[in-house]
Amino acid sequence: MNVLSKVPREHICPAGYGHAFSVEKGQLFRLTDLEGQQPIDFWAFNKEDPNEHLSVAHTRVANMSMVVRKGQSAYTNKRRAIVTLIEDNSPGQHDMLLAACDKTRFETLGHKGYHRNCQDNLHEALGAAGVTIPFSPQPWNLFTHFPWTSDMRVEMLSPDTKPGDNIVFRAEMDAVIAISACPQDIVRICGDKNTPVKVEVAI
């Protein structure tokens, strides 16, 4: 089912970079993994007050679940719905526990010098959209494969998404959405390479 039959806005977020865009309450938008196995760090902010933002902790409590299922919403730190999951045309691997990669993460993995990272991508993308925040919320990690083991440890595996897999949301308030096409290339959470992500915003 194509719920985005009319697509007035489309953007390709390059591999390893971020992008931010505005949506109005009721608008649908779709994120597509163009080549497969590409995680997307996902954030959402109240357009009028970015101090109110998607909170994975509040979302877990609101849904009493570690995952958001079709028809359920993600919630802000003020316990208000900000986006609702309308379609999930993917294996459904979306983590709500792990932090975004950042400069320190790559240093601990042995990388020397600067490496693009999801935390910097967030602030770079928001800045381009005219939004500045002094904090970095935990993302909702879409298209990721971080299963728990029997002894409650977390594994970091490559996702099972295929080219064209996508996820569709509805905005529940006027919001600024930010994404990062994760640039991780040391551990294999992005498969063999980093790849771009397509953003579509419907009428």
- As a whole number of angstroms, the distance between CA 178 and CA 162 comes to 22
CA-nearest of 145, 137, 143, 146 to 177 is: 137
Position 169 scores a pLDDT of 98
CB of 173 closer than 8 Å to CB of 47 = yes
Specify the pLDDT at position 6. Answer: 66
Q: Environment class of residue 136 by beta-carbon count within 10 Å: exposed (0-12), middle (13-18) or buried (19+)?
A: middle
* Model pLDDT, residue 203: 76
> Mean pLDDT of residues grouped by 10 in the chain (203 residues)?
69 98 97 98 98 98 96 98 98 96 96 97 97 97 94 94 98 98 96 96 87
Q: Residue 7's pLDDT is what?
A: 63
Q: Phi-psi bin for 79: left (phi > 0), alpha (psi -120 to 50), beta?
A: left
What is the pTM (predicted TM-score) of this model? 0.95
The domain locations on the chain are 13-201
